[in-house]
Amino acid sequence: MEVPSKTMIDYLKWSNQEHERPNNAHSSRKTQSSLWEEICSENEEIRHAVLESIDSKKVTEPKVPDTDGPVDYLNKEIFPILLPALEAVLTKAKEWDCLEIQKSRFNGLDYLAEYLWNKNRRHPARQVDHWKDVFCIPFVKRWLKEHPRPLFPMSWLWNREEATLIIQSTVRGFLVRRRPEVQEMRQFWKAIREEKKRSSVDSERDVQEEKEIEVVELESK
């Protein structure tokens, strides 16, 4: 039997290594692919968890749909709630006969706020419970505590001519203030006032710091 030479043995070893190399490369690629898929799946789980956490913290607020204009939003979201409330205010005013009597206890704005609070669709329990008067509503109580009303309302103190003049002047002032050139001028002077306010605050802070430094120096001496 012929003994293989050293060159033949080296060739056989090289051949076996070449046959094993593709399998090793394939297994390496498979390991890298599985590791990448694992990383992607973990990243996707973290992403879903973050999105769920953000959605749970969001406050549901009425939003204007992108496809609808302001008029459509008013017709769909505002008027179905506001018009019945205004109708209820007129009915209540007729019961109090306040359209004929000047000094009436009925206040249309108070009753409108009372009606909208008790008929709020987001709080159906309020419609089941006892109807709350406007002065028993929590936010109204807080507001009146900080801003108490005068003893008599202006509707009791003004006569018809005075009320007409005040209403007309208020409407005229609003129409003038909403003009673009007037709005621009108001924004300009507002920025000037804020700049002066900031500079005065900074100067007061500098003076206070200088006083504190002087006190520290005197105490150190």
Q: What is the pLDDT of residues 14-69, one digit of tens each?
A: 555 555 554 555 555 556 667 777 777 877 887 777 777 766 665 555 555 555 67
Rounded to whole angstroms, what are the CA distances from 89 to 52, 84, 92, 124?
Answer: 43, 9, 5, 21
Three-class SS state of 51: helix
Tell me how far CA of residue 128 lies from CA of 124, 125, 200, in angstroms: 7, 5, 55
**Hunting for tokens 């769909």 — which residue is that?**
76
**pLDDT of residue 78 exceeding 50:** yes
Cα-Cα-Cα-Cα torsion 78, 84, 86, 89, nearest 10 degrees, comes to -150
Q: Is residue 196 very low, low, confident or very high in pLDDT (cuts 50, 70, 90)?
A: confident
pLDDT digits (tens, 9 = 90+) for 108-150: 999 999 999 999 888 888 877 788 899 999 999 999 999 999 8
Taking each helix axis from N to C end, the angle separating 180-220 and 160-177, rounded to the nearest 10 degrees, works out to 80
Q: How confident is the model at residue 1 (pLDDT cuts 50, 70, 90)?
A: very low
pLDDT band at 90 (very low <50, low <70, confident <90, very high): very high
